[in-house]
Structure 1
């Protein structure tokens, strides 16, 4: 038996085969899950190309988390591909304008740019979860991805602020959805060489930081450790864990200078 045998899982944010979300799809399927993938806008085509390489190609639905109509249609869309409700959601959605909000532009970023980053990267955890709530089964697990925002990082700027908001949002969702038996947790991954990371000016410095300080060392080309943590949190092996942030970063979070 696999960890996710018979579970229906929605995984967002699959773009390239290097993404953590893609690795999560691959491992979740291997562990027995029925996976539905979502993407939006210009990301739909690359998502289709990426999942076409999988041994079992999952259905792909378009869900723009900033579009109320897309969110309202989510339960019906999911119903076309799953039976018995939804057992898990993987939130792997984030965006901030790389020219205006990242790479040292923190002090000059305008509110509209910040608001867009917060909407897509943080508020969407709440809006996506609530859109899916009519079909979420008791015992369901919501897992998001963050880059530990309890500290500041070079070049990360307003995305760091958005991730801090995401982390707080996850804790409040855990509080309010706990009585329904729904768990909400985050995986704080170390830097992985994804398309999103490459769009951040100066993000290559993260690899140098991890190379120097991570006790277990860190391979920025390997999304599997983070994806395995996601799958573990989706499973029934963490039945009493919610509002938590699990670090998958080679231990760097535990070190000082």
Structure 2
């Protein structure tokens, strides 16, 4: 029996088959789960094509986490494919180019980064809550926000808000047996990473600093952690950040 046998999951953030979210969906299916993906706008067609590369083609529904109507109707639209949910993967993040200049970034740029990359975790949790009456797992992807990283700037601030949001969700959703945890992955060469100016600076030094080594082309270790957290093997873990970064988070300068 697979680790997620019989589980029903919502996976956001699948754009290309190089993404962590794609590998979560793939591993989840291999471990026995039913999966529904989300996308929106012009990327819907791309995600629908990528979904066909999964072991089993997965339905794709539209979800823009800044669209109140999309969120309000999400549960009903999911019911067309699943009769409930056991887990949700939040793999959503965006910041306008201006947010990657800390001193010059405008509030408009920062507000967009915070809404899409942090507040959306709460918005997604609230939208899917009706489908998890017996509990479940909310898992998100972060990039360790304890430090002021080069080039990350206001996206780093948004990730700090994201991590704090997870802790508050763990507090508020725990009584309903919904576990809320994050996976802090090392840098992965995804479409999202390529959109961050100077992101290659992380790639150049990460493998040197990671005691276990690090492959920026391999999203599977992070995906495995997400799958594990959505399984029944972490029944008493919530509000946690699980580092999957080769050990860099534990090293000094």
Query: Cα distance, 1:52 vs. partner?
Result: 1.6
Q: How does 1:117-136 map to 2 (within 5 A)?
A: 117-136=113-132
Query: Cα distance, 1:51 vs. partner?
Result: 1.2
CA distance in 1, matches of 2:183, 2:200: 21
**Residues 190-248 of structure 1, C-alpha deviation per residue, up to 9 Å, x if partnerless?**
00000010111110010112121000000000000000000000000000000000000
Match of 2:85 in 1: 86
Match of 1:204 in 2: 200
**Equivalent pair of 1:17/1:50 in contact (CA under 8 Å):** yes
Match of 2:246 among 239, 244, 250: 250
* Superposition CA RMSD, Å: 0.8
Match of 2:233 among 211, 231, 237: 237
Q: How does 1:105-254 map to 2 (within 5 A)?
A: 105-254=101-250
CA distance in 2, matches of 1:195, 1:39: 14
**Residues 35-81 of structure 1, C-alpha deviation per residue, up to 9 Å, x if partnerless?**
00001122212211211222201110001110110001011111000
CA distance in 1, matches of 2:151, 2:78: 37
**Residues 149-193 of structure 1, C-alpha deviation per residue, up to 9 Å, x if partnerless?**
011111011110110000000000000000000000000000000
1:96 to 2:95 alignment: yes
Query: Cα distance, 1:139 vs. partner?
Result: 3.0
**Residues 71-105 of structure 1, C-alpha deviation per residue, up to 9 Å, x if partnerless?**
0101111100012x1100000000001x2111xx1
Unpaired runs of 5+ in structure 1? none
Match of 2:6 in 1: 6
CA distance in 2, matches of 1:159, 1:46: 25
Runs of 4+ in 1 over 4 A off after TM superposition: none
Match of 1:41 in 2: 41
Unpaired runs of 5+ in structure 2? none
**Equivalent pair of 1:87/1:137 in contact (CA under 8 Å):** no
TM-score (norm 2): 0.98
TM-score (norm 1): 0.97
**Equivalent pair of 2:86/2:137 in contact (CA under 8 Å):** yes
Q: Secondary structure at the match of 1:100?
A: helix
CA distance in 2, matches of 1:20, 1:42: 20
CA distance in 1, matches of 2:133, 2:6: 13
